[in-house]
Copies of this chain bind each other. A is one copy, B any other.
Amino acid sequence: MAFDLQGWMQPHLLRVEQALSGGIDPAAPAGLGDAMRYAVLDGGKRLRPLLVLAAAEATGAPTLAAALRAACAVELIHAYSLVHDDMPCMDNDVLRRGKPTVHVQFGQAQALLAGDALQALAFELLTPLDGSVPPAVQAACVGLLARASGYWGMAGGQAIDLASVGGQLSEDQLRQMHRLKTGALLLCSVQMGVACGAVISEQTRAAFNRFGEVLGLAFQVVDDILDVTADSATLGKTAGKDAAADKPTYVALMGLQAAQRYADELAGEAMQALADTGLPPEQLTALQGLASMVVQRNH
Contact = CB atoms under 8 A, between A and B. Distances in A.
B113 A116 contact: no
Contacts of A107: 89
Copies in the complex: 2
A135 B139 contact: yes
A142 B126 contact: yes
A113 B159 CA distance: 7
A180 B108 CA distance: 21
Given A90-B109, A156-B28, A146 B117 contact: no
Given A36-B151, A126-B142, A127-B143, A159 B120 contact: no
A117 B150 CA distance: 5
A159 B121 contact: no
Nearest to A138: B139
Interface in A119-156: 119-124, 126-129, 135-136, 138-140, 142-143, 145-147, 149-153, 155-156
Nearest to A84: B112
Given A112-B87, A162-B30, A155 B124 contact: no
B84 A152 contact: no
Interface in A28-81: 28-33, 36, 80-81
Contact of A147 (B30, B124, B158): B124
Contacts of A163: 30-31
Nearest to A77: B120
Contacts of A33: 151
A299 to B, nearest CB: 26
A25 interface: yes
Interface residues of A, number: 58
Contacts of A31: 159, 163
A73 to B, nearest CB: 10
A110 interface: yes
A197 interface: no
Given A113-B159, A126-B142, 20 more contacts: A25-B151, A28-B151, A28-B152, A29-B156, A29-B180, A30-B159, A30-B164, A80-B116, A90-B109, A113-B158, A116-B149, A117-B156, A119-B119, A120-B150, A121-B146, A123-B123, A124-B146, A138-B138, A139-B142, A142-B142
